[in-house]
Structure 1
Amino acid sequence: MPNPQMRRPLAAGAVVALVLAALNLRPAVVAVSPLLGEIRADAGLSGTAAGLLTTLPVLCFGILAPVTPALARRWGLERVLCASLVVLCAGFALRLVPTTAALFAGTVVAGSAIAFGNVLLPALVKRDFADRVGLMTGLYSMSLSGGAALAAGLTIPVADAVGLDWRGALASWGLLAVAGVLVWAPRALRSPVAAPVPFRGDAGLPVSRSLWRSPLAWAVTVVMGTQSLSFYATNAWLPEIFVGLGRTAEAGGWLLALGNMVGIAGSFATPVLAGRMQRQRAIGVALVLLVGGGLLGLVLAPGAAPLWVVLIGLGQGGGISLVLTLMALRARDAARTSELSGMAQTAGYLLAALGPIGVGFAHDASGSWTLPLLLLVGVAAVQGVAAWFAGRDAYVD
């Protein structure tokens, strides 16, 4: 463990670059949610097809997670991360083309770009901020929630103020990606072609397959998958749910933004608390109770929607930072941490991809939002069981 008195001062440029990259990992996905009703009406999408639109990025996250470490070892973390931001800009631009095929294609391109950042940024924290993993994980998680909150709350108001249609509203978030490219391009040009990256496989280390036979590793993976399923399903459909309850699309977007803004606090506080605990079982279960209670509240007392959204936001914001922290706490070294991260993100995001499309299908089948919300309560229960096992004081090997 690093000696706190030997800590290097934080480089402001490195922190700004990390935050800006993290801010870009959610708007391309979340900005669709407040516009989903308009997109469905214009493109003629069913609930299942709309769910597929919000599921595609999550599928990309899972499919491309195993590929990312090899690219980072070959070309360097900074170069791959900068290239992913360029690809993200292309995804936003593609969504401007006035066809449904281009909308889906742009979503796949943007989701693929974000997939690289999902894997690379935790590795960056481990490599460059090894003596401040808890603090920087909290900052990274806060930036994820902050990007989601900005996209949920500002997409419709900005589009209305500027006079953009829904395609322009989605593409407007490409400006944030352009800013990311401008910040990361000089860092990419200065970095060596094969910069040291703490991925398993560096320095001739074999990639162990035993991790996939570890019950503890699977517990962390299930926490990752169920938390992500809940997050992407609610972020995809909550504005539509609120419209179904009689609120406007803009009000639904602001309620979603409220949840993500509250999630910022949960994202920052959770790693600090979890890092001080020998076991993280209690905090894992508490976060799940917040999410499950909020979802159940929407079914039983929808008039108190702001309260339930706050509970969901706290639980989900804390949940993503908890699982990122568990990846570090349940592994003995940086190489094993990155291996566990790769497993959790691959299998976890593939599981999470069932969320948005599953909620859309359940709504089409039942004709109401009660069944989808109850199914998400069940997902929260599974997450709680997995968090209990993942929170024990042990290592995956």
Structure 2
Amino acid sequence: MKSQSGAAPIVVRPALLIVGILLIAANLRAPFTGVAPLLGLIRANADLTTTEAGMLITLPLLAFAIVSPFAARVAREYGLERSLFAALVLIGAGIAVRSTGTVWCLYLGTAIIGGGIALGNVLLPSLLKRDFPDKTATLTSAYALTMGVGAAIASAIAVPLAQVFNSDWRLVIGAFIVLPIVTALIWLPQLRNRTSPLRDTATPPHGGEVWRSALAWQVTLFLGLNSFVYYVAVSWLPAILHDAGFSSDKAGSLHGVLQLATAVPGLLLLPVVRKLKDQRVAAFIASTISAIGLLGLLLAPSMAMLWIIFFGIGAGAAIILGLAFVSLRASNSHQAAALSGMSQCVGYLLAAAGPPLVGQLHDASRNWNVALAICAALCLVMALLGLFAGRAAHIVTAPIRRATAKAI
């Protein structure tokens, strides 16, 4: 009995930790992507323009750009476990503030949610690599899938919940608070630990050799353009489908399909991407598939299910490849941290510009055709960038160049 009870923590704690990790992952998309199917309702009730409604997706992305590079510093000061708990508290507090009903609280709460998600986005992979170094690919696939499933469920139930609550969007977006509360309670046992993030975790962006590297910019723009088109789709897909003749319920369900399709490549790509000689072909194909999906929505919206799956798989694969490029193209852990900070800062700033810009294009043209065509063209630009970013090469810094010169 004594040995069994003594062995229990060795078995139970990792299991509880994995459950906590997966639940945190579920919080990293659902609280703000689940709002997209309600944007039409919120826009009408709060008297917002299309551009102003798009800011409800843009604000979290701005928070990602600002907060993400500083997440490692927070974790070094307070520990990974406590910082992740703080992320859950921020997400829950943001949901509460956002659902009070006033327009300024709607925006403030959305920004707070973005800050919490930014912490989780950066620190959760570091926790996985530290505690499960032999299962990183498997667990990263699992948490990517969980993130997609959480976002899909939020998207699918948003409109039905609005019908239950008599179109009171405040109650619907307030209901999302259940997830961070439950997750925080399950995460409580981990607060006894206080550990630092890994050395390759994103650091604050600053000038330096990485910013002057063509390869670093190719990786950064590949990620940034993919984020741009992905978050445009996350923001406006329900509205695009509604204008194409789909019901609000069907549009919300298809928005959920997008989230699931985005998560699928994680099950296949993550375990094999590092084993490829280079990733040029994979990056080109992923970007092209995204372009096909967007062109399909433009030219044949009646087949939306097929085109959404195409776009989701392509965008999901591009996200995984872009994140892999950060470590694969770096020469050391410090360089990986610098490139991660650069790519996240620039990438999320590009992504943040997407929803309001597309909202303005819609208001000017009174349709989504121009926006869909531009996003498809950007995917083709991504395909070209992928041919460069996917090369089996490393960013060369001054010390490496000097060492090479001496050897010659």
Query: TM-score with structure 2 length normalisation?
Result: 0.89
Aligned position for 1:198: 198
Aligned position for 2:374: 375
Aligned position for 1:362: 361
Aligned position for 1:149: 152
- Alpha-carbon contact 2:27-2:150 (below 8 Å) kept: yes
Tell me, in whole angstroms, the C-alpha distance in 1 between the residues paired with 2:326 and 2:134: 16
Tell me, in whole angstroms, the C-alpha distance in 1 between the residues paired with 2:215 and 2:31: 32
Letter in 2 for 1:223: F
Tell me, in whole angstroms, the C-alpha distance in 1 between the residues paired with 2:121 and 2:373: 29
Shift of 1:163: 5.4
Shift of 1:382: 2.1
Aligned position for 2:309: 310
Cα deviation per residue 1:119-155 (whole Å; 9 max; x = unaligned)?
A: 1112222322323332233223222222221221122
Structure 2 residue matching 1:66: 3-state secondary structure: helix
In the alignment, structure 1 residue 58 sits paired with structure 2 residue 61: yes
Shift of 1:349: 0.4
Tell me, in whole angstroms, the C-alpha distance in 2 between the residues paired with 1:201 and 1:309: 32
Aligned position for 2:245: 246
- Alpha-carbon contact 2:165-2:172 (below 8 Å) kept: no
Aligned position for 1:32: 35
Tell me, in whole angstroms, the C-alpha distance in 1 between the residues paired with 2:378 and 2:333: 30
Tell me, in whole angstroms, the C-alpha distance in 2 between the residues paired with 1:330 and 1:249: 43
Aligned position for 1:280: 279
Tell me, in whole angstroms, the C-alpha distance in 1 between the residues paired with 2:133 and 2:338: 17
Aligned position for 1:132: 135
Letter in 2 for 1:55: T
- Alpha-carbon contact 2:225-2:351 (below 8 Å) kept: yes
Shift of 1:395: 2.1
CA gap of 1:229–1:139, structure 2 versus 1, over 3 A, is same
Tell me, in whole angstroms, the C-alpha distance in 1 between the residues paired with 2:242 and 2:53: 15
CA gap of 1:261–1:200, structure 2 versus 1, over 3 A, is closer
Letter in 1 for 2:197: V
- Alpha-carbon contact 1:211-1:340 (below 8 Å) kept: yes
Give structure 2 stretches of 5+ with no counterpart: 1-9, 397-408
- Alpha-carbon contact 2:294-2:307 (below 8 Å) kept: yes
- Alpha-carbon contact 2:122-2:201 (below 8 Å) kept: no
In the alignment, structure 1 residue 87 sits paired with structure 2 residue 86: no
Tell me, in whole angstroms, the C-alpha distance in 2 between the residues paired with 1:62 and 1:176: 24
Tell me, in whole angstroms, the C-alpha distance in 2 between the residues paired with 1:127 and 1:337: 16
In the alignment, structure 1 residue 19 sits paired with structure 2 residue 22: yes
- Alpha-carbon contact 1:33-1:235 (below 8 Å) kept: yes
Shift of 1:333: 4.3
Aligned position for 1:78: 81
Structure 2 residue matching 1:65: 3-state secondary structure: helix
Shift of 1:273: 3.1
- Alpha-carbon contact 2:17-2:190 (below 8 Å) kept: no
Aligned position for 2:322: 323
For these two proteins, the number of residue pairs brought into alignment is 383
CA gap of 1:373–1:383, structure 2 versus 1, over 3 A, is same
Letter in 2 for 1:38: L
Tell me, in whole angstroms, the C-alpha distance in 2 between the residues paired with 1:221 and 1:279: 17
Cα deviation per residue 1:343-393 (whole Å; 9 max; x = unaligned)?
A: 211111011111111110110111111001011112212221222111111
Shift of 1:238: 0.4
Aligned position for 1:4: none
Tell me, in whole angstroms, the C-alpha distance in 1 between the residues paired with 2:334 and 2:144: 21
In the alignment, structure 1 residue 109 sits paired with structure 2 residue 112: yes
Tell me, in whole angstroms, the C-alpha distance in 1 between the residues paired with 2:334 and 2:153: 34
Shift of 1:164: 6.5
Letter in 2 for 1:268: L
Tell me, in whole angstroms, the C-alpha distance in 1 between the residues paired with 2:393 and 2:86: 37
Tell me, in whole angstroms, the C-alpha distance in 2 between the residues paired with 1:94 and 1:368: 33
In the alignment, structure 1 residue 160 sits paired with structure 2 residue 159: no
Say what the alpha-carbon RMSD is for the aligned residues: 2.1
Tell me, in whole angstroms, the C-alpha distance in 2 between the residues paired with 1:216 and 1:173: 40
Bigger Rg, which one: 2
Shift of 1:200: 5.4
Letter in 2 for 1:278: K
Give structure 1 stretches of 5+ with no counterpart: 1-7
Cα deviation per residue 1:237-277 (whole Å; 9 max; x = unaligned)?
A: 00001111111111111111112222222222122231220
Letter in 1 for 2:228: L
In the alignment, structure 1 residue 290 sits paired with structure 2 residue 292: no
Aligned position for 1:5: none
Please list, as runs of the form range in 1=range in 2, the aligned pairs for 1:331-370 lying within 5 A after superposition: 331-370=330-369
Letter in 2 for 1:62: A
Structure 2 residue matching 1:13: 3-state secondary structure: helix
In the alignment, structure 1 residue 229 sits paired with structure 2 residue 232: no
In the alignment, structure 1 residue 67 sits paired with structure 2 residue 70: yes
Tell me, in whole angstroms, the C-alpha distance in 1 between the residues paired with 2:270 and 2:324: 6
Query: TM-score with structure 1 length normalisation?
Result: 0.91
Tell me, in whole angstroms, the C-alpha distance in 2 between the residues paired with 1:127 and 1:335: 16
